[in-house]
Amino acid sequence: MNSTQLLSLAEVRALAKSVLVSAGMDDHGSDVIADIVMCSERDGPRSHGLRNLPFYVQSFTSGYANAAATPTIERIAPGVLRGDGDNGYYQIAANMAREDLIALARQNGIAAFTCANCHHLGALRFDTEPLAEAGLVALAVVNSLSLVVPHGGLRPVFGTNPMSFACPREGGAPVVWDQASSTVALMDIKMAAAEGRALPQPAGLDAQGHPTADPEAILETQSLLPFGAHKGAAIAFLIEVLGAALAGGTLSVDNEQRKEHGALNIKGGATLIAIDPTRFGNVAFDDYISRICSEIEGNDDARVPGDGRLKKRVEAEAKGVAVSKDLLAQLKTMMSQG
Ligand code: NDP
């Protein structure tokens, strides 16, 4: 039985735009988010592509997020831009700030954009990649709803708190990777539960507080383990500080408003740091990146982190992407109810 339909990337983008507009999102915001949805279907992670649209829509229809956000951005220190997302999606504010952030990084060597009062449901790779394409090194963090227990603890404190790193690579696409602070992403746990299979490794706690690979048990406790034991928990801590504390966003543990609206994400905080390597005094910076990458490539099965997206991109651009017919039906129903 054919349970998928092939869509071109233009069709994916048009579908995402229509779903968002039917949910009440304004023209500009829906353009920004439709682009991210299309890029996620193209490069991965596809869990953050069309499958994510119902969560965007839910955030508007429940009155939790602002579908017509007008973010504001203020320069509050020589290298610091501070944003207020107007309760809309972070990427709208980040798009507005990008040009100034790049200019400030080139001027000062380093600059940062922080944003509070904003939502983030996407992959962070799309926040850093444009900066690396402009020749900068970039680091992005955002805090999210509390699901990750501190190492040795029983109660979630951190979000799945993702981070992304990107740097330019001479003669090729930038190196760009992003990852959550949990061992396994929530979406993957949900998928394993739906398919009735155990996870490859313990990724959360059961009701007795023991590590388990049973996805149903983890979904019941909503308690995920950080990746790499205490080391991942420390990274989640760093992201909570650089994301929520620095920007003034909601802490991952402060979930009340989100729960009230039944939303998946919190109104958190995000920070994007841009570094101009040409202002740091090492004229051979590009050679260092090339050398690191060449030591990884051809090293048995190793590959440069994040390069998987480039292969997926070529394939998706040439052939389109196969989308579940059930998901397409769900999105069409949402549009007709909009
Ligand atoms: P993965 O573990 O799937 O991948 C992490 C990174 O490693 C990716 O950049 C991936 O890129 C790369 N990678 C994967 N396998 C290899 C390999 N064998 N060798 C080298 N590199 C590899 O990601 P997560 O499950 O941790 O996170 C999934 C997504 O969820 C991320 O995009 C993240 O930004 C997003 N997220 C967003 C949240 C939010 O609040 N907005 C919250 C949490 C997560 P590639 O495979 O393309 O090379």
**Closest ligand 1 atom to Cα of 265:** 40
Mutate which of 33, 52, 163, 179 to test ligand 1's pocket (most atoms within 8 Å of Cβ)? Answer: 179
Per the CB < 8 A criterion, the answer to whether 72 and 60 are in contact is no
pLDDT in tens, 119-162: 999 999 999 999 999 999 999 999 998 999 999 999 999 999 99
Which of these, 5, 50, 6, 3, lies nearest to 318 by C-alpha position?
Answer: 6
Annotated catalytic residue 119? no
Report pTM. 0.96
Which SS3 state, helix, strand or coil, does residue 190 take? helix
Alpha-carbon dihedral angle through residues 219, 221, 226, 230, given to the nearest 10 degrees: -160
- Residue nearest atom 44 in ligand 1 by C-alpha distance: 180
The predicted structure's pLDDT at residue 2 = 62
- Residue nearest atom 20 in ligand 1 by C-alpha distance: 305
Confidence bin at 188 (pLDDT 50/70/90)? confident
Residues at CB less than 6 angstroms from ligand 1: 44-45, 48, 120-125, 142, 144, 160, 162, 177-180, 185, 303, 305-309
Q: Is the pLDDT of residue 227 over 70?
A: yes
In eight-state DSSP terms, residue 244 is I
Which SS3 state, helix, strand or coil, does residue 178 take? strand
Candidates 26, 47, 254, 290; catalytic one: 47
Token pair 């969560």 is found at 55
What domains sit in the chain, N to C, each tagged with a CATH number? 1-61+310-338 (1.10.1530.10), 72-143+160-178+231-306 (3.30.1370.60)
As a whole number of angstroms, the distance between CA 215 and CA 252 comes to 22
